[in-house]
Amino acid sequence: MCLALAVSAGSWSYARHVAYRVTVDGVEAGVVASPAVVSQAIQAEAERRGFDPNRVVLVESVRTRPFHSLWRPHTLDAQEMAARLSGRLTFQLQAADLVIDGRRVLTLPDRQTAEAAVAKVRADYLAWIGAGREGVTVQSVEPMQKIEIRVRPVDPDTIVTDLDQAVALLERGTDKQDEHTVAKGETLWQIAQEHHLSPEEILAANPGLQPSLLQVGQKVNLVVPEPYITFRDTEIRVQKVSIPYATQTVKDPNLYPWQRVTRQAGQPGVKEVTTQIVREAGRIVSADVVSTAVIEPPVQAVVAVGTKAVPAASGTGVFVWPTSGGVITSPFGWRWGTLHPGVDIGVPIGTPVYAADSGTVVAAGWESGYGKRVIISHGRGLVTVYGHLSSIRVQAGQEVRRGQLIGLSGMTGHATGPHLHFEVRVNGAPVNPVKYLK
């Protein structure tokens, strides 16, 4: 018996599963069901480290490769994948380098922050030069360096996130060693002002320096700030400047030579001066006057000087004792290293003082040292002086007779006690009064 076996033709259907192997720089890290799981894991790890997932850049190469399996492989979810990747990933952030004259000096979070830092340095400079104050117009402010902003992935630890800290660094810059040679008459304060430093900074750079003992030619060390960004600015400054007035002297025959009378008071004028000032790194390199306009012209003073002839004195040349009583307490001659040009007659305050001879009063008023004093011309070059008076009873230009009351004794001016200081001058030179007293 023959058995026939019937086999129907057909095809086998195999169940196929697709999964993805994850590698970090070629080293397998796990298997996931979808590449999206890896993206989620990387995002979660970035957030765990405090980074914005949209800004991070991976240093390592993370790849997913599909493979097929007859059996369903074990796959990791996003949380498990993140745990596998933790510690194996290095994140960088997109940030902005501030490049000055080709040198990278600072890294900021983004281009906008870098631009804000440069703008703040510029604003601080404008405030320092006084922009905005009355009469000052800043025409231009341009950085003296080439400033570039370059965006690139960087290590997050190198980014300066505080704007104020970034501005302070740009304004302070680096320090370079320098020195100043002391000139005649210079003080520590002047040296500090010249170099935009404080006296304390200079003292810190020069241990043992004695500010009061600076010597001409002495070398003073300076720690001079060298900012990363400096500016060249041009400003127009308008100032009102006083114009001094002139004095015209006119002769008046009705006044004696010692008399001066102001006929017209002088008044300073005012002019407006416009100056263009150019500064580089805060130091003035040029200052040119652009225009000058007189707003108020000065008013000339007019002073009359007397030319009236002094009446001929009727003096005899022999002088009477100039006070009521008294004795000489300090004679004419050298005293305490200086010439005592007269004699001191000791009398109480208020003792009458008389003209030693007839003549014309040429001065009556206060004079340093003498206090209240009277000067009388007696003709022929003879003049008498009466000092330290408490009261004056005559006036300049008045004619007096010998023995006439001209004042009262006192101790005004430089006097150690009440007395009359009495002088005799011949052609302007003091002589011993005793020779002329009767």
Full domain range(s) for residue 50: 17-89
Summarised one tens digit per residue, pLDDT across range 137-178 is 999 999 999 999 999 999 998 999 999 999 988 988 876 678
CA dihedral (65, 69, 71, 73) in degrees, to 10, reads -10
Same structural domain for residues 22 and 73?
Answer: yes
- The pLDDT score that the predictor gives to residue 141 is 94
For residue 156, tell me if it sits in a domain. Answer: yes
- Of 226, 244, 270, the residue at which a domain comes to its end is 226
- The pLDDT score that the predictor gives to residue 205 is 80
- The pLDDT score that the predictor gives to residue 5 is 23
Query: What does the longest C-alpha to C-alpha distance in the chain come to?
Result: 196
Q: What is the pTM of this model?
A: 0.54
pLDDT tier at 200, thresholds 50, 70, 90:
confident
For residue 4, tell me if it sits in a domain. Answer: no
- Of 89, 124, 147, the residue at which a domain comes to its end is 89
Q: Is the pLDDT reported for residue 395 higher than 80?
A: yes
Cα–Cα dist 405/171, whole Å: 79
Same structural domain for residues 190 and 290?
Answer: no
Average pLDDT taken over every residue of the chain? 88
Same structural domain for residues 80 and 102?
Answer: no
Total structural domains in the chain?
5
pLDDT tier at 313, thresholds 50, 70, 90:
low
Q: Is the pLDDT reported for residue 1 higher than 60?
A: no
> Across-strand partners of 293?
272
pLDDT tier at 341, thresholds 50, 70, 90:
very high
Summarised one tens digit per residue, pLDDT across range 15-53 is 478 999 999 999 999 999 999 999 999 999 999 988 888
- The pLDDT score that the predictor gives to residue 16 is 74
- CATH, residue 369: 2.70.70.10
Same structural domain for residues 354 and 428?
Answer: yes
Residue 41: exposure state from Cβ atoms within 10 A (0-12, 13-18, ≥19): buried
Summarised one tens digit per residue, pLDDT across range 94-136 is 999 999 999 999 999 999 999 999 999 999 999 888 888 888 9
Same structural domain for residues 145 and 182?
Answer: no
Same structural domain for residues 346 and 423?
Answer: yes
CA-nearest of 32, 232, 17, 8 to 140 is: 232
